[in-house]
Chain A
């Protein structure tokens, strides 16, 4: 159930990577890459694999999105750090420098606006360009310089003050605060001679290298320009990994050595093996890109053959549903081709709001999704928020350990009326449309919680109620939970986090969060068995469902439907249609017998 949206909530819309320490995600300096002779680094490197030149080295990270590509590396620009203030001897020169920096920032944004193909993106860039040249800010910079500040500090202070004012105003103005901070960082970077913060825009394709990526950074990411992603931190369910899979970009995360990658060098990224080969030749780049294009063409042909409903080679139906955050995420041909929605996240409506969205607003948003899928199943997840993804109107206290605190369904203990309004809106929207609406709660831990939720949902006249399984307790007692609800949906990312006692944001422990961990698969198997016994469906809506081979294992374990991002459906179906249900079951058996995640994956690969 980790997904881009959820990551957005966890990090907050304004906590951009490179913006300095954030309370939600403590920043650690990534250890720097060491020379090949260093014993600590020996395990991280292997000699370059053919057909690369032997002089290059390869860094090892965690491959989270398969595919192989190569090109020049460019680092994500960090927010500049202000040095100590200088004593100003010539205020006129400082004023001129500040104005020139702001003029250049405005000009650059205006140029980008002209190049932007999307009218919405163009409007944003144009407005940002105007803000950079805003006379109010220029005057306030002049005053600060007259008061003794140097240009960089004056720009920083003027923009920060204005941004704080906007944030306090809230609403549309509040949303502009992040724009101003962006402009501030750009202007200060110019004044200090540092690289521009944010995603580089060199005008040619490149591999984006970063410490980690935040949702705000990646919103501007152009998949036509970015070849692959390499990050020092992150894990298999981090935002970077999810985004990469959604866009079909090869990605290597948890690769601390990547901190040493210099801008402009040619690198080869293998998102399956998790390797990043440095200093490859231009010929090698051309060869890799050619092969990648050929592979992509072949994969497209394979997926073409796998159109139609999800099923195994012997015709066992496994609905392949979509994970979405709003009607905007539905593909244009959803009405004809989508089997349904397996996870409709509803947080988007609530995000960044000081008041809960009202009944009518919610009804309209849900009805847009339902109306797009007449006769199809739409599984709606009730509000999944908490102290780790704070919503101001919930006014929850700060918690020392938010992942273990009041989140998901637990927020209804304190604010039941928020859930009640949401369920009323869902019921109204469902009554207006022809979709088959199922409703489920996030973070159910006990059969008692499931029973209480089911009673609430049914009181609104909604027929199908389910519980998400993200807490190991719910998986272990799946049979009892199913006595009260009609279906289960397993959120493998959170279930993995809680099973392995490993924070989803902890890059160093990424191996423990591997969805192939046999303990996680044991819990999934227990849920599937409970579903079979009760004659009720048990689906998976976590990232595990979008790994084509693992999807076959899940079907073999008895999972009845899989939900994933649109981009994964073709790949998963292509694999599924290659195997019979019995073959999937044998795959699952082999995987459960494996001692660890790597062995489990290897067992599936050799069996399949």
Chain B
């Protein structure tokens, strides 16, 4: 199964706004994506409650995984998002 491990760049970690942006992006992907920290529990990346429950802090390495034809592309999009400091980006209209 394709995987990407990426370090979360947002200053507040995967909480609040960064978590919401990530979940929204995951929901927009054509395949279901899972998220985990190390070898910890797998959560559905489309679930804000699941993502928050991992309590991912700034600088934590997380692993994304998905199956299916579009898996690689979906993982690239989400990995790129996590590698940005979403807290530093302006809130658009």
Binding site for B on A (CB under 8 A): 119, 122-123, 126-127, 130-131, 134-137, 162, 166, 169, 171-173, 176
Contact = CB atoms under 8 A, between A and B. Distances in A.
A528 B50 CA distance: 59
Nearest to A166: B49
B53 interface: yes
Contact of A123 (B17, B49, B52): B17
A173 B52 contact: yes
Contact of B50 (A127, A136, A169): A136
A134 B45 CA distance: 10
Contacts of A137: 49
A173 B55 contact: yes
Interface stretch (B18-26, B61-69, B76-84): B18-26
B48 A134 contact: yes
B76 to A, nearest CB: 22
Contacts of B36: none
B20 A127 contact: yes
A123 B20 contact: yes
A131 B48 contact: yes
A123 B48 contact: no
Contacts of A166: 49
Contacts of A119: 91
Contacts of A176: 52
B5 interface: no
B36 to A, nearest CB: 15
B52 A136 contact: no
A119 B47 CA distance: 22
Contacts of A134: 47-50
Interface in B6-46: 15-17, 19-20, 23-24, 44, 46
A166 B49 CA distance: 9
A137 B50 CA distance: 10
Given A123-B16, A123-B17, A136-B44, A131 B49 contact: yes
Nearest to A129: B20
A95 to B, nearest CB: 18
9 contacts: A126-B17, A126-B20, A127-B17, A130-B24, A137-B49, A169-B53, A172-B16, A172-B52, A176-B52
Contacts of B17: 123, 126-127
Shortest 4 CB-CB distances between A and B: which pairs? A130-B48, A119-B91, A136-B47, A123-B17
Contact of B53 (A123, A127, A131, A173): A173
Contacts of B47: 134-136
Nearest to A118: B91
A127 B16 contact: yes
Nearest to A126: B20
Contact of A127 (B19, B44, B46, B55): B19
Contact of B15 (A126, A136, A162, A172): A172
B49 A127 contact: no
Contacts of B24: 130
B44 A123 contact: no
Contacts of B55: 171-173
Contacts of A136: 44, 47, 49-50
A360 B15 CA distance: 24
A115 to B, nearest CB: 11
- Which of B17, B24, B48, B50 has most A Cβ within 10 Å? B48
B49 to A, nearest CB: 5
B77 to A, nearest CB: 18
Most buried by A among B15, B44, B50, B52: B52
A123 B91 contact: yes
Contacts of B19: 127
Contacts of B16: 123, 127, 172
Nearest to B91: A119
A172 B49 CA distance: 12
Given A130-B20, A135-B47, A136-B44, A122 B91 contact: yes
A172 B14 CA distance: 11
Given A123-B17, A127-B17, 16 more contacts: A119-B91, A123-B91, A126-B17, A127-B16, A127-B19, A127-B48, A130-B24, A134-B50, A135-B44, A136-B44, A136-B47, A136-B49, A136-B50, A166-B49, A172-B16, A172-B55
A80 to B, nearest CB: 22
B68 to A, nearest CB: 17
A126 B93 CA distance: 13
A122 B46 CA distance: 20
Nearest to A131: B48
Nearest to B93: A114
B23 A130 contact: yes
A135 B19 CA distance: 15
A130 B27 CA distance: 10
A222 B17 CA distance: 23
A540 B66 CA distance: 64
A127 B23 CA distance: 9
A135 B34 CA distance: 13
Nearest to A180: B49
A131 B17 CA distance: 13
Which of A123, A131, A135, A169 is most buried by chain B, counting CB atoms within 10 A of its CB?
Answer: A135
A122 B49 CA distance: 18
Nearest to B13: A172
A391 B56 CA distance: 27
B46 A135 contact: yes
A173 B24 CA distance: 19
A130 B23 CA distance: 8
A242 B64 CA distance: 50
Contacts of A135: 44, 46-47
Nearest to B45: A135
A123 B18 CA distance: 10
A258 B15 CA distance: 42
A79 to B, nearest CB: 21
Contacts of A122: 91
A123 B23 CA distance: 13
A116 B86 CA distance: 20
B12 to A, nearest CB: 9
Contacts of A172: 15-16, 52, 55
A376 to B, nearest CB: 34
